[in-house]
């Protein structure tokens, strides 16, 4: 590994929600529910119900999954599909504003190791990207809060929202990332937190490191090269290895050498 250190990794591509910060339970869920209240919609997602909605990629798509005939009738919504889509877009715009205000208020701290690993990778000359199905404004907000405006501005790529027609678990967003970064897939490591994200990376023929969270810790990550509780920090929360199919041998926190080792075998 040491002899090939400069060529093993050419790019790291991060998912946003659940990877950069634990955003789903403490950010997106309360933002969705506040938006529902503001629009007088007869729904409030519980922690468990939102976990089921997370199987659907994309916030607008999760909101659109509410549109059963009974819900449309109870909420007094139009029956025309185009008008319904416009309503969902309006709800989602408001939800995104609520969420970004929560991020700006410091309510969603970065996950362990994110700021440390991103800073080290940038200083080592690696390309960095984000590939997320969340709204673009929300992704930029959490990225800037997680690593600071200066580090966020140095990212080579941020893909978010409706940049591709098919969202995760389809591979489209990672194929687009490869095209825009102009890198060899063999030198790209994806960091995800969910089965949907792993499937998207795997279908794009990319190796994937998974950092689980409370919503995803029991999902199937058979295709992941390494599964950990978090990236860990030397003076903070340690990383626990859940599954390891790589040459990496991380201690209490993952280093750039561990990430390189995920691509070495």
Report which secondary-structure segment, H or E, holds 23.
Answer: helix 23-23
How is residue 2 annotated by DSSP?
Answer: G
Cβ–Cβ contacts within 10 Å for residue 207, how many? 21
**Residue-level pLDDT at 265:** 65
Q: Can you tell me the mean pLDDT for 40-51?
A: 96
What the block records as the tokens of 153 is 């501005």
Catalytic center residues: 15, 17
Write the pLDDT tens digit of every residue in 122-163.
999 999 999 998 889 889 999 999 999 999 999 999 999 889
Is the pLDDT reported for residue 230 higher than 70? yes
**Residue-level pLDDT at 188:** 97
Backbone dihedral angles phi then psi of residue 171, each to the nearest 5 degrees: -80, 0
Write the pLDDT tens digit of every residue in 48-103.
999 999 989 889 999 999 999 999 999 999 999 999 999 999 999 999 999 989 98
- The pTM of the full predicted model, rounded to 2 decimals, is 0.85
Write the pLDDT tens digit of every residue in 177-220.
999 999 999 999 999 999 999 999 999 999 999 999 988 999 99
**Residue-level pLDDT at 199:** 98
What distance in Å separates the CA atoms of residue 46 and residue 233, rounded to the nearest whole number?
A: 31
Q: How far is CA 196 from CA 125, 139, 168, in A?
A: 29, 18, 6
**Residue-level pLDDT at 3:** 38
The total number of residues shown for the chain amounts to: 265
**Residue-level pLDDT at 212:** 97
R_g of the chain computed on alpha carbons: 19
Cβ contact 220:228 at 8 Å: no
**Residue-level pLDDT at 109:** 84
Cβ contact 137:101 at 8 Å: no
136-147 helix and 81-104 helix, angle to the nearest 10 degrees: 10
Q: Where are the alpha helices (DSSP H) in 78-232?
A: 81-104, 114-123, 136-147, 149-153, 172-181, 195-203
């Amino acid at each position: 590994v040491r002899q090939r250190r400069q060529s093993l990794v050419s790019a790291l591509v991060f998912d946003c929600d659940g990877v950069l910060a634990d955003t789903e339970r403490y950010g997106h869920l309360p933002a969705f529910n506040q938006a529902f209240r503001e629009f007088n919609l007869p729904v409030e997602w519980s922690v468990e119900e939102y976990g089921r909605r997370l199987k659907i990629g994309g916030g607008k798509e999760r909101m659109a999954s509410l549109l059963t005939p009974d819900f449309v009738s109870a909420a007094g919504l139009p029956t025309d599909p185009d008008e319904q889509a416009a309503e969902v877009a309006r709800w989602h715009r408001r939800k995104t504003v609520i969420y970004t205000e929560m991020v700006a208020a410091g309510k969603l701290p970065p996950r362990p190791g994110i700021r440390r690993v991103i800073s080290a990778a940038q200083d080592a000359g690696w390309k960095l990207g984000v590939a997320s199905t969340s709204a673009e404004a929300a992704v930029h907000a959490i990225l800037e809060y997680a690593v600071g405006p200066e580090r966020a501005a140095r990212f080579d790529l941020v893909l978010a929202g409706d940049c591709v027609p098919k969202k995760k678990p389809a591979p489209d967003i990672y194929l687009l990332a490869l095209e825009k970064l102009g890198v060899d897939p063999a030198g790209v490591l994806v960091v995800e937190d969910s089965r949907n994200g792993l499937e998207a990376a795997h279908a794009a023929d990319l190796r994937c490191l998974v950092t689980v969270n409370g919503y995803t810790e029991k999902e199937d990550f058979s295709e992941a090269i390494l599964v950990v509780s978090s990236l860990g920090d030397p003076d903070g929360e340690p990383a626990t290895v859940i599954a390891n199919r790589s040459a990496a041998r991380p201690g209490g926190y993952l280093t750039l050498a561990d990430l390189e080792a995920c691509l070495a075998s």
